[in-house]
Amino acid sequence: MSPGFRARALFLKHEWVRGYTLMTPTLLCMICLMCLPLFMLFSYSFWTQNYLDIDKTFTLANYEAFFQKPIYIALMMKSIRMSLFCTFITLLLAYPMAYFIAFKVTKNKLVWLILITVPFWTSYLLRVFAWKVILGFNGVINSGLISMGIIDEPLQFLLYNPTAVVLTLAHAWAAFAILPIYVSLEKIDRSLLEAATDLGDTPTERFWRITWPLSLPGVIAAGLLVFIPTVGDYVTPRLVGGTTGIMIGNIIQSQFGKANNWPMGAALSVISMMLIALLVVTFIVSTTRARAKSS
Amino acid sequence: MFLYAVWYLAFLYIPVLFLPLFSFNDSIYVTFPLKGFTLAWYGDMMDNPALLRALENSVKVGLTVALLSTFLGLFAAKAMTRYYMPGKGPLTSFIMLPLVVPGIILGIALLVITNLLGLPLSLFTIGLAHTLIGVPFAMLVLMSRLEGFDKSLEEASLDLGEGAFQTFWRVTLPLAWPGILASVLLTFTISFDEFILAFFLAGNEVTLPIYIWSQLRFPNRLPMVLSLGACILVFSFFIVTFAEVVRRRGVGPQSGAAI
């Protein structure tokens, strides 16, 4: 039996060999475009830079710099706090909307779903920028209030602060929160709710004992989908954040731009990624444990 | 409850709708009260060679990315839905990974590797980055489509003596085409709108979002950017609605009977 023939027999006999063969181009592509670059980023964080030359001797200097300069740690913590807060607000606003579509809308659910996704499909940059237009010194709110004679001087506190960043992000990522929550609410077996009512639960009890626990997977997915990208966001803090609203993404970007210290930027990225992963894992483990305990 | 939903929709729409509103306003300042109605900003936009060039680049990159990621997504979706494979779960999460790694980190990781390989930054590097985030979306859309129709149709074709390729070409592809079209439109829109990855990987040739970013610094260019934004809004609305309608067509109980 020739080796070629044997390979062919193996190919026809095992489904998984055929499956993996079919997936090879996609996997190769993902490895080349994701794993290799992330690995190189990781290596870069152990190097140093002298003007334009990269010194490739292994060193922990970048990580030491991170832990020695309080500004980095403070900024990292602030980014995470802002993202967590923003995720919380986004979920809080999105949940009733998802609930409404899943339980109250009987006809034209698709229309409601499309209505929610449309603003999300208009260039991210311009969605963020729209908030600058609204909140700005000469923006829509200020000029509107002045022309109506309610105020004389433009309000300064609207733009360029962490609140503006949180508001803008809650707007920009709304669809990412509503859709997963909606899907998990839609999946809930309605007969469970009827049973609870028959057994004498009030609507509030019914919500907290049945609907809420069963919608948790969607809430968790939504939380992750909003939290992870917002930590690293660069555009929103830059456009509406001002000096007090800058986040870790802006510092990472400046290391690759103005500061021209790529290894430091790489180290900051690696640290952010590790922190995010750590938070996400803790979050998932604690929620699954809490759910296992309650059931 | 209904009232809340309306308020929430207003919160989602009002900021976005300011763009078209002020794009017709006859003043370079985005302030109330509105001045006269004008189409001048749309005229400016059409006469701007740099903008048209960026638009052309975006379309070029978008089309390539759409076709490439749909192609790769189709392979993966077919393998995932049709074959028994150990480790399917971890594999799916692996392909979905670009969706949960912050864009800025993917962007600089790709920047670092292009730099080490000595590749020049160009539309090509932007295209590669966009393919990375396009594949997971394409795979999600195509998997739901491939799961939506009956596997036995493919088995029947194989039983009747067609080869694997013939079966794919004559049975799977026609049945999957709404999913394929939806995936192409979706990945095109994603690439067309994507900014952060492109921002790190752009050379001299820029895409539309990068062009917009560069204009945001100049207050007198603002009205033109607003009219451009309004155009993108209308364009995205049509593409996304069309993609959604196509994707949903034939998914459901009638799909088998329609053939």
How high is the ipTM of this complex? 0.83
Nearest by CB to A234, which of B31, B196, B244? B196
CA-wise closest residue to A145 among B27, B36, B32 = B32
Best B112, B154, B155, B172 residue to mutate vs chain A (most A CBs within 10 Å): B112
Report CA-CA distances (Å) from B242 to A75, A80, B138, B237.
43, 38, 16, 8
Q: How far apart are CA B71 and CA A8, in angstroms?
A: 25
| Cα distances (angstroms) measured from residue B224 to each of B6, B20, B221 | 31, 11, 6
Find the closest chain B residue to A39 by CA distance.
B109
CB–CB of B102 and A129 under 8 A? no
Q: Is the CB of B153 inside 8 Å of chain A's CB atoms?
A: no
Which residue from A34, A99, A119 is facing B132, i.e. has the nearest CB? Answer: A34
Q: Do A26 and B33 touch (CB under 8 A)?
A: no
Is the CB of residue B118 less than 8 Å away from at least one CB of chain A?
no
Percentage of chain A exceeding pLDDT 90: 13
CB–CB of B102 and A256 under 8 A?
A: no
Task: Give the 3-state secondary structure of residue B37.
Answer: strand
pLDDT at A293 over 80: no
Across the interface, do A225 and B4 touch by the CB < 8 Å criterion? no
- Kindly determine whether residue A262 and residue B75, on different chains, have CB atoms separated by under 8 Å: no
Most confident region among A162-166, B62-66, B98-102, B231-235 by mean pLDDT:
B62-66
Please tell me the distance from the alpha carbon of residue B95 to that of residue B80, in angstroms, as a whole number: 11
Is any Cβ of chain A less than 8 angstroms from the Cβ of B15? Answer: yes
Q: Which residues of A touch B185 (CB under 8 A)?
A: none
Q: How far apart are CA A142 and CA A145, in angstroms?
A: 5
Which A residues, 26 through 55, put their C-beta within 8 Å of a C-beta on chain B?
A: 26-27, 29-30, 33-34, 36-38, 40-41, 44
Supply the pLDDT for residue A12. 66
Name the range with the highest mean pLDDT among A118-127, A195-204, B61-70: B61-70
Q: CB-CB: which of A26, A123, A266 is closest to B95?
A: A26
Say yes or no for a CB contact (<8 Å) between A116 and B236: no
Mean pLDDT on B106-116: 91
A119 reaches B (C-beta below 8 A): yes
Per CB-CB distance under 8 Å, the chain B contacts of A122 are: 16, 19, 229, 232-233, 236-237
Scan residues 198-237 of B and list those with Cβ closer than 8 Å to A: 199-200, 209, 212-213, 216, 225, 229, 232-233, 236-237
Q: Count how many pairs of residues, chain A against chain B, have C-beta atoms within 8 Å.
A: 233
**pLDDT tens, residue by residue, B140-181:** 889 888 887 777 888 888 888 787 788 888 888 888 888 898
String of b and e for B16-35 (b: at least 16 CB within 10 Å)? Answer: bbbbeebbbbeeeebbbeee
**A160's tokens:** 């360029």
Pick from B9, B16, B98: CB nearest A127: B16
Q: Find the angle CA(B212)-CA(A270)-CA(B121) to the nearest 5 degrees.
A: 40
Amino acid (one-letter) located at B2: F
At A241 the pLDDT is 80
Smallest CA–CA separation between A94 and chain B, in Å? 8
Q: Using the structure block, give the residue that is written with the tokens 């990068």.
A: B210
What's the token pair of residue B170? 């004559």
pLDDT(B32) > 80: no
How does the average pLDDT of chain B come out, rounded? Answer: 84
| Residues 64-83 of chain A whose Cβ lies under 8 A from any Cβ of chain B | none
Choice among A2-11, A71-80, A249-258, B165-174 with the minimum mean pLDDT: A2-11
CB within 8 A of B84, min separation 6: which ones?
A15, A16, A19
Q: Cβ contact (<8 Å) for B83 and A22?
A: yes
pLDDT in tens, B184-236: 988 998 899 889 899 999 888 899 999 988 888 887 778 888 888 888 888 87
Can you give the pLDDT at residue B249?
66
Question: How many angstroms separate the CA atoms of A97 and A94, rounded?
Answer: 5
Provide the strand spans (E) within chain A.
48-50, 53-55
State whether the Cα torsion A250-A256-A260-A261 is positive or negative: positive
The answer for A 241-260 residues in CB contact with B (under 8 A) is 249, 252-253, 256
Give contacts of A277 with chain B, Cβ < 8 Å. Answer: none
Give CA–CA dist A77/A247, Å, rounded: 9
Instruction: Give the minimum alpha-carbon distance from A128 to chain B in angstroms, rounded to a whole number.
Output: 9
Residues of chain A neighbouring B18 (CB-CB closer than 8 A): 130, 133-134, 140
pLDDT (tens digit per residue) in A149-166: 777 777 777 778 888 888
Amino acid at A202: T
A236, two tokens:
């929103």
What percent of chain B clears pLDDT 90, i.e. is strictly above it?
A: 25
| Residue among A33, A137, A211 with most chain B CBs within 10 A, to mutate | A33
Instruction: Give the integer Cα–Cα distance in Å for A27 and B79.
Output: 12
In chain A, the N- to C-terminal Cα span, in Å, equals 57
Which residues 20-49 on chain B approach chain A with CB closer than 8 angstroms? 22, 29-33
A129 contact B CB<8A: yes
In chain B, whose CA is at the least distance from the CA of A116?
B9
